[in-house]
Amino acid sequence: MSQKHPKSSATINKLVDELNPVKRIFNFKKRFIAWSIIHVLCILLIMFSTGSLRPNLIEQIKQPLFFLELLLIFVSMPLLAFLLFRESTPHKKQRPFKTILYYSPFIFSVVLISLQFFKPQFEFSMVGKRAYCGFEIILYAIPLYLSLLYLVKKAFPLRKKSLSFLMGLSASTFTSAMMNISCIYEVKHVLIWHIGPIFIVSLISFVVGLFVFKEKK
């Protein structure tokens, strides 16, 4: 334990010289709760000021499969955001199984929607159609994504690539879930215009993250 490392002693001296007091960042749970509440309130406000819920939603929600699918997609936003904030600071290594658990509601909800290609739950209906649902998801995700980028960059993310992707998912999943209860519900439409934008935002987020989190040499 008492080995001397000339290189590290020089680094230590330099770091000690450069030391300034720092303000400790908030616990990740506090940051997660604050961001999620603001996120949900903003989206609800925008969605209800630009439209309303689908008129036949109450009847549809009685279908157990549809209810389960909605539940899963609504649960996935807080889970993904929790994982994101947790991963944004160095912490005890998490088991891969646990990480998969956080992603699983989102994956299952997409699988449940896709399965309806074979056996649709509802007859085709245009009730509640929003003209620009897909674009709305992308548009609303931008400020949410930027706020996440700021918060995550302010922390010290270690797994930058997966976090970059996760930021996009967290910023767009809730809006997509809201679209599933306000816009039309038809498998192809939901997959292309409600779920598709989530992946577009996540891919953009991934690419942006590669540049933003790139270590300076």
Residues that bind other proteins (CB under 8 A): 1-3, 5, 7-9, 11-12, 15-25, 27, 89-93, 155-156, 158-159
Q: Which is nearer to other proteins, 151 or 190 (CB)?
A: 151
Q: Which is nearer to other proteins, 8 or 50 (CB)?
A: 8
Do residues 106 and 173 lie in contact, with contact meaning Cβ atoms separated by under 8 Å? yes
Nearest to 85 by CA among 28, 125, 40: 28
Q: Which is nearer to other proteins, 12 or 127 (CB)?
A: 12
Q: Which is nearer to other proteins, 3 or 49 (CB)?
A: 3
From the CB of 147, what's the least distance to other proteins, in Å? Answer: 18
Long-range CB pairs of 38-45 (<8 Å, 24+ gap) are: 38/147, 39/77, 39/81, 39/144, 39/171, 39/174, 40/174, 42/140, 42/143, 42/144, 43/140, 43/174, 43/175, 43/178, 44/178
From the CB of 205, what's the least distance to other proteins, in Å? Answer: 21
From the CB of 39, what's the least distance to other proteins, in Å? Answer: 22
